[in-house]
């Protein structure tokens, strides 16, 4: 691969990535003015990771965590966002996301595509300490958006406090229990006020 075709492939990947800014999520901005997109969400959770690294349950390489979070949602360009509280077939989504990963990371020069893909596979597997913490952070940010926005996606999906515990709490606790402890009191308060 010449230098020109190498850089051309990298720019093609980065231009394709632009489409993530048009993938809408279930959650809104904190001020509830509009739904959040997966591009700005990816930025926000990378900043979350950078800010909250000290709460990882096991020591993590925060730089790998940040890189994972920067690429973790790219497959949504083909697969769309899968709302945490939505109704879907996980196996079907996983298959669509696998094909999306093949296509999107396949735009890069081969060895770089393999490196990014390995990082995405690691995030999806949610087994390494870095991936477990990254997954926690990915679950924390929508909770804060909901607490700030008046619970837009909790209301839309008619979510109970028990469902938040089982779909969100379990994952946050696994990677960052101190953050969950902090959030849990606020979530309980929100649901009590609403009852």
Contacts of 108 (CB under 8 A, 6+ apart): 9, 10, 13, 116
Q: How far is the CB of 51 from a copy of itself (least distance, A)?
A: 5
CB of 50 to a copy of itself, least distance (A): 6
Nearer to a copy of itself, 116 or 131 (CB): 116
Least CB distance from residue 18 to a copy of itself, whole Å? 4
* Nearer residue to a copy of itself within complex by CB, 27 or 159: 27
- Chain residues binding a copy of itself by CB under 8 A are 3-4, 7-8, 10-11, 13-15, 17-19, 21-22, 29-31, 33, 36-37, 39-40, 42-44, 46-48, 50-52, 55, 63, 66-67, 70-71, 108, 112, 141, 144-145, 148, 178-179, 182
Q: Looking at beta carbons only, is 63 or 160 nearer to a copy of itself?
A: 63
Instruction: Output the smallest distance, CB 182 to a copy of itself, in A.
Output: 5
Q: For residues 153 and 27, is the Cβ–Cβ distance under 8 A?
A: yes
Angle at 140 between CA 138 and CA 144, to 5 degrees: 130
* Minimal distance, residue 91 CB to a copy of itself, in Å: 29
- 28, 152 Cβ separation under 8 angstroms: yes
Residue nearer to a copy of itself on the CB measure, 4 or 158: 4
How far apart (Å, rounded) are the C-alpha atoms in residues 108 and 143?
Answer: 34
Residue 145 near residue 94, CB atoms below 8 Å = no
Number of H helices, E strands in the chain: 11, 2
Residue 80, both tokens: 């769309």
Both tokens of 9, joined, read 């492939």
Distance CA 100, CA 77 (A): 8
Query: In this complex, which beta carbon is closest to a copy of itself, that of residue 10 or of residue 128?
Result: 10
């Amino acid at each position: 691969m010449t230098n020109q075709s190498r850089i051309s492939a990298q720019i093609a990947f980065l231009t394709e990535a632009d489409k993530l800014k048009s993938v809408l999520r279930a959650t809104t901005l904190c001020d509830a003015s509009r739904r959040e997109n997966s591009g700005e969400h990816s930025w926000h959770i990378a900043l979350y990771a950078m800010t909250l690294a000290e709460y990882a349950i096991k020591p993590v390489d925060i730089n790998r965590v940040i890189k994972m979070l920067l690429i973790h949602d790219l497959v949504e360009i083909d697969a769309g966002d899968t709302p945490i509280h939505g109704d879907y077939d996980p196996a079907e989504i996983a298959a669509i996301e696998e094909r999306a990963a093949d296509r999107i990371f396949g735009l890069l020069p081969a060895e770089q595509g393999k490196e990014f893909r390995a990082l995405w596979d690691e995030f999806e597997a949610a087994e390494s300490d870095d991936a477990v913490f990254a997954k926690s952070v990915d679950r924390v940010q929508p909770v804060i958006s909901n607490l700030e926005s008046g619970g837009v996606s909790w209301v839309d999906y008619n979510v109970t406090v028990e469902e938040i515990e089982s779909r969100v709490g379990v994952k946050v606790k696994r990677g960052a229990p101190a953050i969950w402890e902090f959030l849990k009191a606020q979530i309980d308060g929100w649901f009590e006020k609403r009852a």
